[in-house]
Amino acid sequence: MLNAIETYLALRRAAGFAMQNAECLLKSFASFAAERGQTHVHTQTAIDWAALGPSVAQRDARLKAVCRFARHVRVEDARHGTPPANYFGARKTRRPPHIYSAEEIGRLIEAALRLGPKGSLRSLTYATLIALLSATGLRISEALKLTAADMTNDGLLIRETKFRKTRLVPLHDTAAAGLKRYLRRRRPRSDDDPVFVDARGQPLRYLAVRDTFNRLVGEAGIRPTAAARRPRLHDLRHTFAVRALQSSPAGRSRCGAHMAALATYMGHVNIYATYWYLEATAELLRDVAAAGEGFMSEGRQA
């Protein structure tokens, strides 16, 4: 079974998937099956192995990893079983995001501009980073990997990001001007220099950015809504997506094209990831419900 697992992993990695976690899980399953003298996927063995996970979510993830592998190898060898993927009945839940208002984003940037030490680049670095995330919906990992060479006349070149995708992110004129002002102060020495750096000139680390951002949230007086938990850095991306969806043009075909463009702009591997943002706020859900009611009403009248 190990040879089949290696072939499966190589194929998936060639398609752009990292597969580190899947490799650990599948090799653990193969060892478990080998102890039972089995060289093919057996449904009960897969369930028994998955059940060793300490939580329902982990048991579900373990079994689904085997199911994906089993569907692949069964194409060439029908002796492999196909376990039921939803055996443990786990349901994926996502915490409601905090959708920042324009006024809250303004307060965050103002708080960033007050960061010390006085006379350093730190305050402008964080203010520019927050403004960029708000204006583009970039993942924080994408923003922190930007180099001087990624600043093009056509926008930001986002290289080898999630799912090994590379894409071009056009910038609004105001966002482009803000980045240029920052880079004039930043003065990168070469095209390989990172855009956002710490006091030692090293690339900003995510943990440092997260901790600083959490402090800025408190200093800006931003409080969680009733539905969401503490506002997070990643919620800037959610906010961008929600605002973009709210600006969608009317009409099914135009709305569909808008969704597809947004999915491409945000680097989603498929449009279903973009659809989730429709559920992010009660306001969007009300818009969807109103559109559905209007469509049904027109249908009855016809």
In this prediction, residue 204 carries a pLDDT of 95
**Does pLDDT of 301 surpass 50?**
no
Residue pLDDT, tens place only, 2-21: 999 999 999 998 877 888 89
- Catalytic, 234? Answer yes
Neighbours of 145 (CB within 10 A): 18
Query: Does the annotation mark 74 as catalytic?
Result: no
Is 232 a known active-site residue?
no
Average pLDDT over residues 156-181: 86
Tokens representing residue 189 in the block: 């020495």
pLDDT attached to residue 146: 95
Residue 300 has pLDDT above 50, yes or no: no
Give the bridge partners for 194, in sequence order: 147
Q: 240 in helix, strand or coil?
A: helix
Write the pLDDT tens digit of every residue in 51-62.
999 999 899 999
Beta bridge partners of 168: 157
| pLDDT value for 14 | 85
Q: Which domains does the chain have, with CATH numbers?
A: 2-74 (no CATH), 102-232 (1.10.443.10), 236-301 (no CATH)
139 is catalytic: yes
Which is more confident, 94 or 244?
A: 244
Q: Which of the four pLDDT bands, split at 50, 70 and 90, describes residue 287?
A: low
pLDDT value at position 28? 96
What distances in angstroms separate CA 195 from CA 150, 186, 232, 258, one per listed residue? 9, 8, 22, 30
Beta bridge partners of 80: none
Average pLDDT score, the chain? 86
Q: Which of 42, 237, 238, 265 is catalytic?
A: 237
- Tell me which of 64, 122, 139, 186 is the catalytic residue: 139
pLDDT of 302: 37
> Does the annotation count 100 as an active-site position?
no
Percent of residues, the chain, with pLDDT higher than 90: 63
Set 27, 159, 167, 234: catalytic member: 234
**pLDDT tier for residue 180 given thresholds of 50, 70 and 90:** very high
Look at 143 and 272; give whichever has higher pLDDT.
143
Do the beta carbons of residue 72 and residue 82 sit within 8 Å? no
Q: Are 148 and 188 in contact (CB under 8 A)?
A: yes
Q: What is the pLDDT of residue 262?
A: 78
Check residue 99 and give its pLDDT. 87
Residue 118 is among the residues annotated as catalytic for this protein: no
Average of pLDDT values for 70-95? Answer: 88
* Whole-structure pTM value: 0.70
- Partners of residue 63 on adjacent β-strands: none
Greatest Cα pair distance in the chain = 69
CB-based contacts of 234: which residues, under 8 Å, 6+ apart? 97, 139, 140
Q: Which of 162, 165, 167, 210 does the annotation list as catalytic?
A: 162
Asked whether residue 157 carries a pLDDT value surpassing 70, the answer given is: yes
pLDDT digits (tens, 9 = 90+) for 119-151: 899 999 999 999 999 999 999 999 999 999 999
Cα three-residue angle 9-14-17, rounded to 5 degrees: 70
